Amino acid sequence: MRRHPLWFAWFLAYVMAIGPLVLHALTALGPHVVDSLGLSATQFGALWFVSFGAAGLLSIQGGKLTDRLGARPLVVGVFLSSLIGLVTVGLAESYTWLLLAAVLGGLAQAISNPVTNHLVFVSVPRASQGLALGIKQSGVQVGQFLIGLLLPTIALRLGRDVGMGPFAALAVLGVVVTLRLVPRTARRVRNKRSEPRPRLGAEVRRLAAFAFVAGAVNQSINVYTPLYAHQVLGTPVERAGLIVAAVGGLGAISRLLWGRIGDRIVDPRAPLQWVAGGTAISVVSLLAAPRLGEAMIWLSVVVFSGTALAANVLIMLAVVRAVPDGSIGHASGWASSGLYAGFMIGPVSFGAVVDATSGYPLGWALTGSVTVGLWLFTGLWRRTVPWAPVRSPDVDDDLTVP
């Protein structure tokens, strides 16, 4: 059954929006949760540690299951896991329940990237796959925008349980839409247990390494910027929530634009290097905020959203181009595992530095240094290793959903 590329990509954006919604909720409610439960910065970061630890362990297996079972049951699993996690966040009255919610959110994210990458591959002509990936990855930031815009205000006025209600309803709606939209037969039949799986090449391993470092840096900035603004600059909780919304809204636009750029660039490592450089600039802006004021926070938000948040799109686009047809889900699982490992290590490590030094400057300085190292690594990779993709961005195949 044929799908219009852009129309179907927006459904995939819906799937991607629901997957990380639990952690977006915890980020938006960070100042409120930290104050009400008396959490340290390390405890707050540990929520991401357990969530992405679970995601990292499950993402490779999720990719294999996507290749073998097809998309429908796994997409339903994304919505159900996120639904239970969102309800748990709304009702949680202790740190233990928040940890459980974080694990459920990690389960949803572990499945979402491999299954949506698979659906991009089987439903979108190759010449449009970069834009389709940009659209579907922008769903993550659209969800972040809605959470940051609405949740802090509703939670402070009506309670956290009421605030989570509309987002839980979106997860329920997603199950219904998936059952009507994704066919039972939306899978490749070629993968049999007797067939050997092709070994992943060096490019995928390097992309997974890039994803690990970028994930650690990006998630540290994403998680702690609202809390940093609240604790260091005195930004009110509701305005700190708007930082989350701004990152989400601008990040969605950024991913769309970078996805379109990716369609026209043969070697995706070039924009990956630009992304690393922009991330370093955003960290410098955060370091300058206590001296120059809250405006530097917002400058960092703009630069971070316009550059760092595109890394996921470009990494996934590179994976789709770099591996044979039968390994899209498997390779995506490895790249996602690198991202999730970085997402897991970054926030808890950053929080530990904040607690150990009773402040944020060293944490931001280390984050900036790592980002500069990533920029140098990507530049060296570009200059020493030729890019040899399995498929070219200018190839336009007439792919359909089986």
pLDDT, tens digit, 9 for 90 and up, residues 251-290: 888 888 887 777 677 777 888 899 999 999 999 999 999 9
Task: Give the chain's domain count.
Answer: 1
Q: Is pLDDT of 202 > 80?
A: no
Stretch 323-329: mean pLDDT: 63
Amino acid at 348: V
Cβ atoms of 143 and 21 within 8 Å: the answer is: yes
Structure confidence at residue 398 (pLDDT): 37
Ranking 54-63, 67-76, 109-118, 151-160 by mean pLDDT, the lowest is 54-63
Range of the domain at 373: 5-188+199-384
Question: Is 125 inside any structural domain?
Answer: yes
Question: Is 402 inside any structural domain?
Answer: no
386 DSSP assignment: -
> What does the alpha-carbon distance between residue 388 and residue 110 come to, in Å, rounded to a whole number?
28
Question: Is 160 inside any structural domain?
Answer: yes
Structure confidence at residue 2 (pLDDT): 46
Structure confidence at residue 228 (pLDDT): 94
> What does the alpha-carbon distance between residue 115 and residue 136 come to, in Å, rounded to a whole number?
11
Structure confidence at residue 397 (pLDDT): 40
Question: Is 66 inside any structural domain?
Answer: yes
Question: Is 398 inside any structural domain?
Answer: no
Indicate left, alpha or beta for 400 from its phi (over 0: left) and psi (-120 to 50: alpha): beta
Cβ atoms of 52 and 340 within 8 Å: the answer is: yes
Residue 324: pLDDT band with limits 50, 70, 90: low
Question: Is 73 inside any structural domain?
Answer: yes
For residue 345 the two structure tokens come to: 């290590």
Question: Is 214 inside any structural domain?
Answer: yes
Cβ atoms of 398 and 182 within 8 Å: the answer is: no
Residue 401: pLDDT band with limits 50, 70, 90: very low
Question: Is 391 inside any structural domain?
Answer: no
Structure confidence at residue 370 (pLDDT): 95
Q: What is the DSSP string of 174-217?
A: HHHHHHHHS-TT-S-S---TTSPPPPP-HHHHHHHHHHHHHHHH
Structure confidence at residue 199 (pLDDT): 55
Q: Is pLDDT of 186 > 50?
A: no
Residue of 317, 349, 325 lying closest to 42 (CA atoms): 349
Stretch 158-187: mean pLDDT: 84
Cβ atoms of 168 and 83 within 8 Å: the answer is: yes
Structure confidence at residue 399 (pLDDT): 32
Q: Is pLDDT of 137 > 80?
A: no
For residue 230 the two structure tokens come to: 């609240």
Higher pLDDT pick, 352 / 316: 352
List the CATH number of the domain containing 20: 1.20.1250.20
Q: Is pLDDT of 4 > 60?
A: no
